[in-house]
Amino acid sequence: MPCKVAPSLLSADFLRLEEDLKMLNQSDADMLHLDVMDGVFVPNISFGFPVIEQVTKICTKPLDAHLMIVEPQKFISEVKECGAYLMNVHYEACTHLHRTVGEIKEAGMKAGVTLNPHTPVEMLEDIIQDVDMILLMSVNPGFGGQKFINQTIEKVSRLKNMILRKNLNTWIEVDGGVNMETGKALVDAGADILVAGNFVFNSANPLETIKKLKEI
């Protein structure tokens, strides 16, 4: 079964955003990954709900909203109103993670939990059965174009074993430094969804790049 690909809006050309989004509509991409940053939880600011609302007017792909912010539970209704298919919150940002996951699902979205590179997958032991997807960061969050952290491959394998042991269908998504080489290693280890930013949007033929990623 081919892996899913979620190009990251963060790497698109915002001066020609409509053109990039229409390209993604025609591509084999499965979702559009939205990195929302607040400059507090991560050392960068990206874009917020006004931009996402405009994106939804053009994009026909399901939206994978990744909130790299403090207190993401305060914005569940706004994320839903923007038309997100899945809302992804950081384990490190949620004091009451179980409650937050429940509220995301009650709002009618899929629920995802993200782990920073230093957070072990074993911390998910008591929440993984309640989520639809786990996102493993393979770079430190905040900026695109960073070098892939190789330890992520073994981390994916440990997470996959946990999912199989519990007889779950939880997706594993990986974000950061994804290319053909790292993508293959991640899929072989058990990843289901690859987030790709610069590798897609800076390529000579983004449509072909997305197609090749899906064929890994």
pTM over 0.85: yes
Residue 25 CA to residue 150 CA, distance in Å, equals 31
Q: What is the pLDDT of residue 12?
A: 96
pLDDT of residue 90: 98
* Residue 91 confidence (pLDDT): 98
- Domain tally, the chain: 1
Lay out the sheet containing 193-196: strands in order across.
4-7, 193-196, 171-175, 133-137, 110-115, 86-90, 63-68, 32-37
Q: What percent of the chain has pLDDT over 70?
A: 98
Domain holding 202, by residue range, is 4-214
| Section 27-40 average pLDDT | 97
pLDDT of 134 higher than 90: yes
pLDDT 10s digits, 170-199: 999 999 999 999 999 999 999 999 999 999
Nearest-angstrom CA–CA distance, 189 and 27: 25
Q: Number of helices and strands (H, E) in the chain?
A: 8, 8
| Rounded average pLDDT over 53-62 | 96
Contact 190, 169 (CB under 8 A): no
Q: Is the pLDDT of residue 145 over 80?
A: no
User: Residue 147: is its pLDDT beyond 90?
Assistant: no
Give residue 117's pLDDT: 97
Residues annotated catalytic, as ranges:
35, 175
Average pLDDT of the chain to the nearest whole number: 96
Whole-number pLDDT of residue 141: 77
Q: How confident is the model at residue 146 (pLDDT cuts 50, 70, 90)?
A: confident
CATH code where residue 194 lies: 3.20.20.70
